[in-house]
Structure 1
């Protein structure tokens, strides 16, 4: 892996192509940063990508299609005449990329700015007068099939119907709410039709104003990033350009840390509002800043306070974030209207939701541990800081000390992360051996091993997955499955991302700093394979026990992505399966039988099919009577599935002692854990995972005094 990257750096550093990026003479400087960025990206990706696509007419058509869809997904801005003009470039974008020609981007950007301005006037005009919900008309929301408007008149009509559908839905909801209030309190005076109609238009106007306000805040660079990523996506779904701010957000998401004051912000009209204080952060510790405060000015230490009213959110965030130990002074308007200046010393903030957490539950007289891993996180810049591998090992140790009889490792919705942490985590459950195989386009395969013979947990193990368990999650599940070390339960298959990406800082190749930060490129450099030789690409990992899923029939996996790399197979790595799998087949058979006979799972399967059928219904009546009839039918059907949300497994989940102590001093942490434990107590999937742990218990469990039948099964009273 490292060898490939060193070769890439050497090639780029030695290439004469980079002569254009030096500052040896004024003539060698290209004045357009966008062109330099395109040249740099194209060169790096063609040299470093696992299997770079050929930049030809088909490539050009893909860029054109993806970019136009990204600019105007609901076809509410561009006219057909615009598309006719744009389409002249459909087969030329490959040549424009090669020649660093920005003609197409400039044309579409300028046109979009014009159409956005026109759209702003259109929706304000539409919402200035009442809607007639009695007339017969329909609106189709299948934007892929609906054509662009032929002229301005047709575009206004499309806008009108889009907005009318939104307000109609809100209007009928308000009517029902008023009726419910009247039912509860006969003395309540229901708001009139006209008042409710006006309220829905006002609400829609505010929503659209906010939406357009966000779009107006976007700079040309933001739209250019969108164009670049329409190009990058042609190589594969995971090759992405990060503008400087996006790179910073990516680093934060991977490490779960950043330096700042520890507050979540949102735009509220022209102000920046505090929406939450991050538990343990300096703002939280200081107890002066509060949820709901509005930030008016920002000053650095003893510097001059800068007015941030009307400033875009990202710019305000830049001013507030800063190095650990530095001071920032915020002028805020409190919820009571008073103005205060609050000094905060910045610190390292840990985003608690990023990190692993565990819980303990008792079932049939046994104690089990549930570990939830939301991401395979790591701090690439400081390996001494916490990472997923070290944290999971710590939780396993704590659960062992708590005396658990089995562990459920939940990686549902875990989109992946660091490859090295996967090896560390898988190694906790096996003696030693290969965990994953990696292959580059031109080099021999590399095998990553767990070399530590120590087994942290040798008891019953279940891995929970779903269709959003991707990449690193799939490596872990595949390794555990291939070793027959644990049982994989969840969706029919996981996401199917079997590729490795490297984030490359583009600035290291640019000598001219006058252009500022060029950001980074995340590009696919390798494919990984199970130790049995099969790829997880497209196919994912098939669960040993498949549980019905509400979204099982929707297209959401790697196999549904355009330009995804293909599945293939390589030779297997030498490994030996776990020597204690005698109960696996019976445990899997027991689980399948329980699921087959479980009323709740049958209902979930029926609900999944209904959701799939609903996704194909795109035509809506804008007549209020017909709309209500259709909505009532949907609501009546939905009532049948209400038991899914109301389900309770009657299990009590609790935190480990160390966390109970922390929660006693931190009300926010306490609230978050209580919410998690409540969700676990309503989770039929976790319940079935615990049932599987029951079935995996060794006969020696009889030593605990718990009654066991002749087959080694718990006697349930």
Structure 2
């Protein structure tokens, strides 16, 4: 951290305080487990963690784990004891669910009282719902007494807490140590994290969109590991033997004895099942009908294609107008495989396909795209300009480096709209900022993007640290080594990218993004670099924005979105609930009535012309599951009011550009 991080911290008492607060919030932010007296034992070390770091001393961590282990056992006793007795839902009692608004319980008696309120709330929520369903004629609840409904509600809560505590108790020292380490890294910035080996493996899978294994999603139910989904196209899917809802009881590597995985945490189960391509794993599974079966699966590369770029054609707002739509869920890249997929290459292919069918404009959708490969975003930005700077990257003690598009080729020179929202981050912000600075595209979205203006790299601790062979693998540290800046010199850090056209958004009044994280790096500014492009300049932005505002003002759905945003802010601020049945029912009735106004807000079909390119149709016709996923994608686009407005914005861009060309001629 001291050697590589962009902004190293002094290991002093202030550092110690921050670690203490982050770690305590991580292990008991809801203030449901520790008492004030127990926290006082930990408080003694508030200013000593820095000294323990330098001495390789884990006294504070060990004490925290000892207290938490006892607290978990105690809380488990509380909920089992409390849920054994019926609740009386009368009186003026209430419960505060936000840990930040409550103090730690002074002693075990007060903690028990909080748990009683907490469990009473959870039971009341289910009890009130059951009463409502019964009144509406639910056949399963017909004839049940109030006593029976309350008992059923308590039983449901007991099952939920049994599952929760089963997961908590199964966490081993490595899991808890990982949480402790991440309190250290979190003080540097929100994106500097420690990854134990399985976490790094999962990160690589998300980043590359592929894994080596059998292609099955799993979850823990009690002591058992259950298959929730078999990934289409993977080895398990091809074998047709492993099915959703199968329970895996044992795992064996080829030529080795099976390992009983009952009670094993999910990360350890996954480590047993995943493995290199062309190796075999033998699963002992219990089927839904109770039969037991051994299934041999040869591991292979599993492609998670839902994360990849895909395109559609949509009719524009004028007769004969044809718009290309590209959805890019992430800036994925597979650096482990020379032949692996990269998002820039995939988007280039989609652009070429859209050009071949003669689209009049292209929409690039980066909503909810959390970023990824910096190399790919630089290359992708170059698709829309001749050549020039895309982003500036600054390391700790060096002058900024300007990352350039050096390829003079322009893959697409037509009208371009980029869609973003509050959750478009990092690489998404680089691309949106570059195209906005160049005046090359209209950026459309919520009031701002996420605001992550930092670059991370992984440090493999096994390679960095010699020795420690008895405890390797040690995992990796992802740390912030650089900040990136727009070509105009400003940073997207904290501020994000403000779209040219802002559309109503459900999260408009809720604070989101980098600025809401703990210890984010500050916004800074550096000198701008020279940039220019002669492909297509969006010179009519004021007119385009004015037309969009006029449409939005008269759009019924957008009007409801604005009202719903205010409602969602109000709901977020509500953290205290009555424990009286009548008062709770009144509160829920009011909330339900309020929510009813926004029910099925985005269920109306607003786009009827979205369709696949003919060149892509054979892919879906050859694979039933891919066809089903594609149908869902088309259905989602057909109901997307934001894409519909973007089609109108695109029409304005095309029309105004045509007028400008005629005027110049």
| TM-score of Structure 1 vs Structure 2, range by shorter chain | over 0.9
Q: In the TM superposition, what is the alpha-carbon distance from 1:583 to its structure 2 partner?
A: 4.1
Give matches, 1:209-358, under 5 Å.
Answer: 209-358=162-311
Deviations 1:484-521 (A, max 9, x none): 11100001111111111111111112222222111111
How far apart, in 2, do the equivalents of 1:551 and 1:700 lie?
A: 33
CA contact 1:410–1:464 (8 Å) conserved in 2: yes
How far apart, in 2, do the equivalents of 1:87 and 1:126 lie?
A: 30
Deviations 1:257-316 (A, max 9, x none): 110000111112322111111111111111111111111221212322222222222221
Give matches, 1:177-576, under 5 Å.
Answer: 177-181=133-137, 189-363=142-316, 364=318, 365-512=320-467, 513-576=469-532
Q: In the TM superposition, what is the alpha-carbon distance from 1:136 to its structure 2 partner?
A: 2.8
Which consecutive unaligned segments of at least 5 residues does structure 2 have?
Answer: none
CA contact 2:446–2:499 (8 Å) conserved in 1: yes
More divergent stretch after superposition (136-145 vs 648-657) = 648-657
Alpha-carbon distance change, 492 to 383 in structure 1, aligned in 2, over 3 angstroms: farther
The secondary structure found in structure 2 opposite 1:593 is helix
Structure 1 length-normalised TM: 0.89
The secondary structure found in structure 1 opposite 2:512 is coil
How far apart, in 2, do the equivalents of 1:496 and 1:270 lie?
A: 41
The secondary structure found in structure 1 opposite 2:133 is helix
More divergent stretch after superposition (361-370 vs 681-690) = 361-370
Q: In the TM superposition, what is the alpha-carbon distance from 1:168 to its structure 2 partner?
A: 0.8
Alpha-carbon distance change, 50 to 699 in structure 1, aligned in 2, over 3 angstroms: closer
Which consecutive unaligned segments of at least 5 residues does structure 1 have?
Answer: 1-44, 703-709, 713-717
Q: In the TM superposition, what is the alpha-carbon distance from 1:698 to its structure 2 partner?
A: 5.1
Q: In the TM superposition, what is the alpha-carbon distance from 1:643 to its structure 2 partner?
A: 5.3
Matched, 1:155 2:111: yes
Q: In the TM superposition, what is the alpha-carbon distance from 1:701 to its structure 2 partner?
A: 7.7
Give matches, 1:568-607, under 5 Å.
Answer: 568-581=524-537, 582-607=539-564
Matched, 1:94 2:94: no
How far apart, in 2, do the equivalents of 1:204 and 1:510 lie?
A: 47
CA contact 1:279–1:666 (8 Å) conserved in 2: no
CA contact 2:607–2:644 (8 Å) conserved in 1: no
CA contact 2:413–2:536 (8 Å) conserved in 1: no
How far apart, in 2, do the equivalents of 1:107 and 1:607 lie?
A: 46
Q: Look up the match of 2:34.
A: 78
CA contact 2:415–2:536 (8 Å) conserved in 1: no
How far apart, in 2, do the equivalents of 1:188 and 1:134 lie?
A: 23
Match of 1:692 among 642, 649, 655: 649
Q: In the TM superposition, what is the alpha-carbon distance from 1:134 to its structure 2 partner?
A: 2.2
The secondary structure found in structure 1 opposite 2:248 is strand
Match of 1:669 among 582, 602, 626: 626
Alpha-carbon distance change, 383 to 445 in structure 1, aligned in 2, over 3 angstroms: farther
CA contact 2:386–2:535 (8 Å) conserved in 1: no
The secondary structure found in structure 2 opposite 1:489 is strand
Alpha-carbon distance change, 711 to 688 in structure 1, aligned in 2, over 3 angstroms: farther
Q: Look up the match of 1:39.
A: none
Q: Look up the match of 1:37.
A: none
Match of 2:18 among 42, 47, 62: 62
CA contact 1:236–1:565 (8 Å) conserved in 2: yes
The secondary structure found in structure 2 opposite 1:459 is coil
The secondary structure found in structure 2 opposite 1:330 is strand
Give matches, 1:26-65, under 5 Å.
Answer: 45-65=1-21
How far apart, in 2, do the equivalents of 1:562 and 1:385 lie?
A: 35
Q: In the TM superposition, what is the alpha-carbon distance from 1:442 to its structure 2 partner?
A: 0.9
Q: Look up the match of 1:633.
A: 590
CA contact 1:485–1:578 (8 Å) conserved in 2: no
Q: Look up the match of 2:64.
A: 108
CA contact 1:483–1:578 (8 Å) conserved in 2: no
Structure 2 length-normalised TM: 0.96
How far apart, in 1, do the equivalents of 2:474 and 2:504 lie?
A: 46
CA contact 2:414–2:536 (8 Å) conserved in 1: no
The Cα RMSD (Å) is 1.9
The number of equivalent residue pairs is 658
Moved beyond 4 Å, runs of 4+? 698-702
More divergent stretch after superposition (360-369 vs 625-634) = 360-369
Alpha-carbon distance change, 100 to 302 in structure 1, aligned in 2, over 3 angstroms: closer
The secondary structure found in structure 2 opposite 1:358 is strand
